[in-house]
Structures are given as C-alpha cells and as structure tokens.
Chain A
Amino acid sequence: MKTETTLAQPQIESKPLPRPRQSFFQKYEGVILGGIAVLIVLGIWQAVWSYTDWISPLFFSGPSAIGKQFWLSLTQGNLLADLAFSGKNFTIGFGIALVSGVVLGVIIGWYRRVRLILDPFLNALYAAPRIAMMPLIIIWFGIGMWSKVFIVFLSAFFPILVNTVAGIRNMDRDLLRAARAFCASDWQIFKTLAIPGSVPFILTGVRQGVAVGLIGVVVGEMLGSSEGVGFMVAYGGQTFQTDTLFVGFVIIAFAGILLTSLAERLERRFSRWRPDR
C-alpha cells in the first residue's frame, strides 16, 4: 500500500474579485436624501403659500413668487447689472486681499521682529468686526464701487494674513533639521519648506476670507450704495417688495455655498501636504 507522505494541497482557485458593486442609492445617498428633504420642505412651503392665507406677502414670500420675481428682475429689472456690480466689487477686493495678505503674511511670518512689532495691531484688527468701519469707509470712498471694494478687502485680508503667518511659522521641526543637515541656506529653507508648507494654511485663510468678504460686499452695499445685490435686498425691504428681498437673499446664499465649497475643495486637495503626523 502506498503511503501518502505529502499533504494534499487544497486547490485554491484564485479568481480576481469583481469590483464591489454599489447600488445607485448607496453611491448617491447624501445627494438623494438631502435633495428629497429640500424638495419636501419647498413643496410644503409652496402649498402653504398657494392654498392658505397664513403667509402675508408683506412679511414673507413663497417659492413661486420668488421664482417669478427672479425671472422679472432678470428680464426686465437690473438683476444682471446688480450681480455684475457685486461680483466685480467682490473680485477686485478679494484679489487685492489675497495678494497683499499672502505677501505680507509671508514677510511677517518669516521675520520674527517684524511679527513682534506688528502683532498687537494685527490681533486687534483681526478680532474686531471690520464691517463696523463701513460708515467711515463711505466717508473716505463715497457710495460708489470703491467703498465696497475696500470693505471686501478689509474683511478678507486679515484671515488670509493671519493664516499665512501661521503657515510660515508652523514649519515641521524634523523637516527643518533634515534641511539643515543637508547644508540648507535660509533662502533654501524659505523656498523649499516654508512656502510649500504654508499652502494648506493659506487655503484655510482663503476659505475664511471668502466667507467674510461676501458679508462685506453685501453689508457694504446695504449701508450705502445705489447698485448691487446688497442694495437690492435693502431696497426691497425699504419698499416692502418682500419678493425682491428674497431673490437677493437666495442669490447671496447660493453665491456663499458655491464659493465656500470651491474653497473647501481646494483646501482639501492640499490638506495632505500638512506635514503633521
């Protein structure tokens, strides 16, 4: 009789696993649930607005009325001009804030003495609600576009500056030691460690700056302007055109969602750069 000396190897058929299937619902669960919730709320709001008289058009509005007013303002009113005016104020003001905030932030972050001298001023201005300066800014720049550009700049500048300073200062000690060991000069450390390392911080500043810059342009236009989305909201309120007020509000809300989600996406893309373990 033949004795089996080797153990029989179990035959394992190795098939590559098929890609795990996700149902349509699993994949888009967030969008589907969120979207349905929004539609339901809008539906109830619309139903109450059209079939009951619980809502006075003086104090509130309904989805259909807002949509209608949106269309009217777009085709017959000057919604496009208002949008362009606000958009231009925001873009110019934010652009100046971004460039100057990053450049100054880098300088302040890199030179310790400069930082120590400027710190008290920066902290005070960063903490203060800059929007309260608006009446003064109108005295300086008038009610034209430049007072709005300036308040956007003033609002967005400080978050960008403060975050850039933090980014430059927050250099990874291990990386710094490694660079020094390879004979890095200060300029090389600045170029290869400080600047790239601060990118995620700068983007955090950008996200915060976008949010406060938007508040800046809207409130600026509400307080003293004859154009713009902020003016549209203020004017709608003063003349009891509640629908117009709502159109402006919805536009501002969407602009906020769009810009901050863009900034967030950008921030997330670079967040793995953050050299923390």
Chain B
Amino acid sequence: MVKLQVDHLTKHYWLEREDRNVLALSDVSFSVGDGEFMAIVGPSGCGKTSMLNIVAGLLTYEEGNVIIDNKKVKGPGIDRAVVFQHASLLPWRTIAGNVRYGMELQRRFDEKTMKERADYFIKLVGLTGFERHYPSELSGGMQQRVNLARALAADPAVLLMDEPFAALDAQTREFMQAELLKIWNKAKKTVLFITHQINEAIYLADRVVVMSARPGRVKDIFEVPFDRPRNLSLKREPRFLELEDAVWKLIEEESDRLGMVAAV
C-alpha cells in the first residue's frame, strides 16, 4: 500500500542575489509504501532538502503532486513530523518539555496521554533519567535523540528525517543509526530519510532513491536486499560494499557531469 507519493514534482527558486530563476527539482517521482524506510541520497545541492521541506509542507510547490494517504499536501500536517538536521530544541524547556512540544502544538492528545507518550518515547530513545535536564546539558547525540523522540511522540503517519546525523561525529553517527533501526522496528513508521552518506542510506533503508545533481531528478531507485535486523558489521560485508559502490558510481557520474570534484 502506498503511503506517500511524490508525483512529477518540479520546483523553481528565485535567486535574489543573482536575479535569476533556478530549477531545483525537475519531475521527481517516487512512492513510499506503508511502513517502508526510504532513503534519498544525492550530491550536495541536488535539492533533497528542498524536497523534504515540500513533503513537510514548509515549502510550496507549483508543479506536480505530493500525496499522503490519498490527500494532497498543502502545508504542515499532523500526519507528518520532521527530525531536523539541527536538534532545534527549545533551550528554556527541559527534555520532557521538548518531547511534549510537538504534541502540544498539534493539540491532538489530552494532558494525560501527552505525559504517557512523552515518558514512553523518552524511554524508547534511551534518555530515561534526563527528563529534567536542559538541552544545553546534553551531548549532540543525545539532543538528536530528543529531536527524534519529539517527532515520534507526535504520532506521525510519515516520519521525515533531514540528515539527522550529519552533525554528529563518526562513532556517534554509527551508533545512532543502529539505534534508529531498533526504534523504527518498534515504532513501525513510514520513513523518508535524507542523507548525503551512501552507506548510511543503504544500511538503514528498504529502498534508496539516488538523485542527480542540479536540477534534482530521480536517477535510479535501488532495492536493499539485506535482511533485518541488520548489524553494524553488515557495513563491512562484500555484498554491502558492492551495492555501495554501485550507488557511488552513479553519484560520481553526476559529479563528473557537473565537472566538480566529488562533493559527497
């Protein structure tokens, strides 16, 4: 069953500084099934973040369609939640207060349910005991867990993740990837995951959309055939590296086409 459908999406930008129109996304189409983990990779500036913002309803689009559960996306909605690249936590709220924040804004749950859900998701991301701490007291990885818990607590049908681990150091990132898979396994959400890291996309996702550089187009869609649950050691196996290599070649072509040194 299709949960999210992006259909012939095209997006233009007006570049104020250069006083010209830029085509950011050109005829992008793909669909994500219910409960599917879909990753999107592409070279820098391929419009993947623009696309996520459009799906989140934070950016308007003129041509094409973005459809979730047979309804056209026309702005932010309670059926989606975003995990941002920067944790974007309110510095004056405790961890518990931050996890509640999304639910409070959406006003879907009563006070008691919000409390229960906040507790549950704080536990799920492994932050029990930190409820009363402030974001400034937490490490970057822990802040991203709060960011994730806030999104999950809002009970979205589709979880949108915008390079959520890009700002973390390599070790924390790997660890967070493994954690995310565990959490996803329990929460059973449809996920759209943006990243510029090929191995992150393959490790996490059921399918990987590879996008071309400016303007962003769908270059190819890969099935990831590996069984779940996946261990981090999977990343060192030959079959994983083969797939990574295949995706890398596609992206390299793109970089060559634009005459730039691979910027991924």
- Give the docked Cα–Cα distance between A196 and B77 (Å): 25
Q: Does B82 lie within 8 Å of A178, measured CB to CB?
A: yes
- Cβ < 8 Å to A, chain B residues 80-122: 80-82, 84, 86, 88, 90-92, 101-102, 104-106
Type the 1/0 row for B221-257, where 1 means its CB is closer than 8 Å to any CB of A: 0000000000000000000000000000000000000
Looking at the complex, which of A10-18, A78-86, A179-187, A243-251 is the stretch in contact with chain B?
A: A179-187
Tell me whether A275 and B91 are in contact (CB under 8 A).
Answer: yes
A276 nearest CB across to chain B (Å): 9
Chain B nearest CB from A193 CB (Å) reads: 7
The verdict on A175 contacting B90 (CB below 8 Å), with A180-B58, A181-B57 known, is yes
Chain B positions near chain A (C-beta within 8 angstroms)? 56-58, 76-78, 80-82, 84, 86, 88, 90-92, 101-102, 104-106, 134, 136, 154
Expressed in whole angstroms, the Cα–Cα distance for A182 and B81 within the complex equals 7
Which residues does chain B contribute within 8 Å of A196, judged by CB atoms?
Answer: 90, 92
Interface residues of A in 161-219 (CB under 8 A from B): 172, 174-175, 177-184, 188, 192-193, 196-197, 199
A274 in the interface (beta carbon within 8 A): yes
Give chain B residues whose Cβ lies under 8 Å from the Cβ of A275: 90-91
Contact: B102 with A174, CB < 8 Å? no
Task: Let me know if B91 and A182 touch, CB within 8 A.
Answer: no
Is A141's CB within 8 Å of the partner chain B? no
- Asked if residues B101 and A177 are in contact (CB atoms below 8 Å), the reply is no
Q: Which residue of A lies closest to B108 (CB)?
A: A183
A residues within 8 A CB of B90?
A: 175, 192-193, 196, 275
Q: For the complex, what is the distance from the CA of A180 to the CA of B92, rounded to whole Å?
A: 18
Not counting A183-B77, A272-B91, a sample of 11 additional A-B residue pairs whose C-beta atoms are within 8 angstroms of each other reads: A172-B88, A177-B88, A178-B88, A180-B76, A181-B57, A181-B58, A181-B84, A182-B81, A196-B90, A197-B92, A274-B91
